Amino acid sequence: GVAVSFQDLPSGGMIVTFDDHKDGFAKVVINPTEKAETFQLTGEWKLVADGTQAGSETIRVDTGDVQIPARSVLVYVK
């Protein structure tokens, strides 16, 4: 099965992490607020969807402190 965990961001946003225990992980970072938020990624994550594009192609690889713009969603995969 898939394990789903939730982490609140200080401003009111949320990080939803999906773990299927075999093929990797996915993270959905949600910021519904009117200001940008910084969050922490442990390890390298491939960004596959942001406010301007989405798909299976890697937009960029992020690690460490990352900023999510106001009113946006980011989708990462390992």
**What pLDDT score does 2 carry?**
87
Average pLDDT score over residue span 28-35: 96
- Whose structure tokens read 């990462």? 76
**What pLDDT score does 31 carry?**
97
- Exposed/middle/buried for residue 13 (C-beta within 10 Å: 0-12, 13-18, 19+): buried
Instruction: Indicate whether 23 pLDDT > 90.
Output: no
Mean pLDDT score of the chain: 93
Q: What is the pLDDT of residues 39-48, one digit of tens each?
A: 999 999 999 9
Conformational region of residue 43, where left means phi above 0, alpha means psi within -120 to 50, and beta covers everything else: left
**What pLDDT score does 22 carry?**
72
